[in-house]
A and B are shown apart, each in its own frame.
Chain A
Amino acid sequence: MKLKSIFSGLAATALIASLVGCGSGNSSAPSGDQAAGEAEAYPKKQIELIVPYAAGGGTDAVARAFADSANKVLPQSIGVVNKTGGGGAVGMSEGAKAKPDGYKLTLVTVEMTTLPPLGLATFKPDDFKPVARLNADPAAITVSADAPWNTIEEFVAYAKENPGKVRIGNSGTGAIWHLAATALEQKIDTKFNHIPFDGANPAVTALLGGHIEAVSVSPAEVAAQVEAGKLKMLAVMADERLPKFKDVPTMKEKGIDLSIGTWRGIAVPKDTPDNVVTVLKDAAKKVTEDKAFTDVLEKMNLGVSYADDAAFSEAVKKDSELFTKLVSDLGLKK
């Protein structure tokens, strides 16, 4: 008898507890955005990281290294999902339209600011809330080792004397390295013969074979050949010289005010609550200080460059304005 009552009592308690649990769950859900108490609760389940490029590429490597290191600092793991297509447009669109709960992050790249002005994307840069930048690489002007130009001044002088003569390879029309080369062309007021390739590697191959005069791709993509003395890098479009190429001047030093490059970072849809952004931003900071992460990037010649949400947003905005103007000047909009 006694046993039975204890049992039913227990059952009742359990029932009530579960009802209360349910109730509170329901009531907290709609107000979740404001509830500061939820801060500890995120993340509660596995987070998905959309990579808008194929597995095996540089962006994928950054994403997977990020996920690996983030698993050490976040209570939940991050799973990488490659959503390729449209030169990044497909993956980034999906990321921009995801539920703003912090469980679908996007590994955004500079294409987030170039695809919309080109008319190739259904998202706008404003659809994202930048969380943290992880990596940045400038454009660089690289020529063959036996080219007649030894400095960027000589190269610019030749280009100005012979408009349309210098064939400069890029990774595709409208791609970041093409935009960098056209920005240079505008600044020094001449004409290049832009040769679009299917990615940076074929452009470098053509340069090695002597089929073009220069490339405007990132230092990482020419590092091996520069070190071997087959190519020489004349200048980088960065604010400061690169630690790996101390002898290569920046464009700014030479009086050409250009700072253009690619970057990769984490972003979430714009309505994501701030506490989620804070958790992710702090995690990203720890990741960029983690040796495992920096090792991977360093070995692939990618520059580690952390920026928090505010600084990253600012940089995104600046790039977005720059590229929107550049694309409309050039009439590249589709």
Chain B
Amino acid sequence: MKKTDLFVGIALILLSVAVWITSGQFPSVGDTDVGPGFFPRLIAGGLILMSLVLIAAAFRPGQAAEEAGPPTSWRRTILGFVCMFVFLALVYLGGFHLATPVFLLGFMWLFGYRKPFASILVAVLVTLFIYLIFETVLQVPLPAGVLFE
């Protein structure tokens, strides 16, 4: 039995039911149009059906032998998630130009790449490259950071 599939199936059924109910409250205007609620309901219906198939398959014995991929290092994965969201906060507050080298250096150090010269070089060059392409050539502004606005 695959626990995740069971869980995903149930979650999707709940979501679909919510969509089904919400869509019922959408206005239906005109006699030729099927209305804004028609497609969401159609999709929600299909999703309920497929989720049931998924749940049924999850209970079926014999398929439990999941293929073992490379083992997952949860410590590193979660560290990666955290790093990204910290980086987002840094960019939001301090702006792209400041946050990016800090993030790159920190990330490399945390994940075991600790050659100071190469790290700094990468951090500076990547930031510079993105700055040049986006702000100079294409004139797309990068986040400046709310602290400096």
Contact = CB atoms under 8 A, between A and B. Distances in A.
A, B in one complex: yes
Contacts of B139: 79-80
Contacts of B141: 79, 81
A80 B139 CA distance: 9
Contacts of A80: 139
Interface string A64-104: 00000000000000011100000000000000000000000
A123 to B, nearest CB: 20
Q: Interface residues of A: mostly helix, strand, loop or mixed?
A: strand
A81 B139 CA distance: 9
Q: How large is the interface on B (under 10, 10 to 19, 20 to 34, 35 or more residues)?
A: under 10
Q: How large is the interface on A (under 10, 10 to 19, 20 to 34, 35 or more residues)?
A: under 10
A10 to B, nearest CB: 33
A306 B141 CA distance: 29
Contacts of A81: 141
A321 B139 CA distance: 38
A80 B141 CA distance: 9
Nearest to B29: A331
B142 to A, nearest CB: 11
A327 B131 CA distance: 45
A81 B134 CA distance: 13
Nearest to B138: A55
A79 B140 CA distance: 10
Contacts of A79: 139, 141
Interface string B126-139: 00000000000001
A67 B59 CA distance: 64
Nearest to A81: B141
A189 to B, nearest CB: 19
A79 B141 CA distance: 9
A81 B144 CA distance: 13
Interface string B109-148: 0000000000000000000000000000001010000000
B76 to A, nearest CB: 36
A181 to B, nearest CB: 15
Nearest to A82: B140
A104 to B, nearest CB: 10
Interface in B76-122: none
Nearest to B32: A193
B48 to A, nearest CB: 28
A79 B139 CA distance: 9
Nearest to B149: A99
A81 B141 CA distance: 7
A93 B110 CA distance: 41
B97 to A, nearest CB: 16
Nearest to A334: B27
B32 to A, nearest CB: 8
A47 B141 CA distance: 13
A97 to B, nearest CB: 13
A172 B66 CA distance: 49
A4 to B, nearest CB: 40
B19 to A, nearest CB: 19
Nearest to A194: B30
B64 to A, nearest CB: 46
A58 to B, nearest CB: 19
A137 B142 CA distance: 34
A201 B139 CA distance: 28
Interface of B: 139, 141
4 contacts: A79-B139, A79-B141, A80-B139, A81-B141
Q: Can you list the 4 inter-chain pairs with the closest CB atoms, starting with the nearest?
A: A81-B141, A79-B141, A79-B139, A80-B139
